Amino acid sequence: MRLRAATLNLEQDHKRWEARRELVIDQLGALQPDLFAVNEVCIPKQTARWLQQQAKQRYGIDYALVQQTRVNGLADVEGEALLTRFPLVETGNLDYRTRDIVALVARVRVGATVLEAYVTHQYMSRGDDSLRLFQAQRLLAWIDGRDDVAARIVCGDFNATLDMPSAALMASRFRPTQTAPTAFTGLADVNGEVSHPGRPRMDRCIDFIWHSEALRVIESGVCFDRPSPDDPSLWPSDHAGVWADFEL
């Protein structure tokens, strides 16, 4: 049994969302993943629901949507989401108790196999990696507590490269599908200011699809990495995404 997964940090509704969302849905239609993990969905504008609806209208893709808002003051602002073509068995969530950050899990049925897809977004890349390390430890402990499923993927913006302790800890338990750069694109706002000014463009991989040994990677790469043909400063997001084809 084969499946395709993808992940992307949407950058909420910032930096010309109404224009760049067309790039997101166009490139989603070309990719057509079975599982699509999304960070920084905008809760007021329901950006994940917009993607779900447009995928159905434009491409006939019938996705179920799982969402988990952040907690406390960010609960009305942003969240994590998963779009899945597979039937849902169970969902759950984790509150890291740090910086209002959360993770979600969806247990889905892929043919005769049950698979768990986790979606999370770790502490910002400018911050101390010790907090991300704590979050990685909490995430792995949560996964270990759900030990009746062998097929697992963990998707999202981890804000850390593999040489950092938090990502190295993840790599000690799961394998990354690829390590090509995902950050940062040349996305500019209406005033011309580019995301993450002062940072190099596309020089690091901080977005991952991690997978357990029960899944074999057939092919993987970077996605949502093409700007508008009419405006080289308009990209799907400030991050590129990651896609991967798996065999169970």
Average pLDDT over residues 145-172: 98
User: 26: helix, coil or strand?
Assistant: helix
Average pLDDT over residues 212-238: 98
The string of pLDDT tens digits covering residues 175-200 is 999 999 999 999 999 999 999 998 99
The beta strand positions in 21-139, using DSSP E, are: 35-42, 64-69, 78-84, 88-95, 102-110, 113-121
Instruction: Write the DSSP string, 172-220.
Output: HHSEES--S--B----B-TTSPBSSTTSPSS-B--EEEEE-TTSEEEEE
Going by the DSSP 8-state scheme, the letter that residue 122 receives in this structure is: P
Confidence class for position 103, pLDDT limits 50, 70, 90: very high
- The sign of the CA dihedral 44, 65, 36, 63 is negative
Domain coordinates of the chain in residue numbers? 2-247
Nearest of 89, 70, 88, 71 to residue 80 by alpha carbon? 70
Q: Return the percentage of the chain with pLDDT > 70, whole number.
A: 100
Question: Which amino acid, 83?
Answer: L
0.95 exceeded by the pTM?
A: yes
What was the pLDDT predicted at 202?
A: 98
Q: Are 154 and 142 in contact (CB under 8 A)?
A: no
Q: Which fold has domain 2-247?
A: Deoxyribonuclease I; Chain A (3.60.10)
In this predicted structure, the answer to whether residue 68 has a pLDDT above a threshold of 90 is yes
What was the pLDDT predicted at 127?
A: 73
Q: Rounded distance, CA 200 to CA 177, Å?
A: 23
β-pairing, 241-247 with 216-223? antiparallel
Nearest of 10, 5, 223 to residue 121 by alpha carbon? 10
Confidence class for position 128, pLDDT limits 50, 70, 90: confident
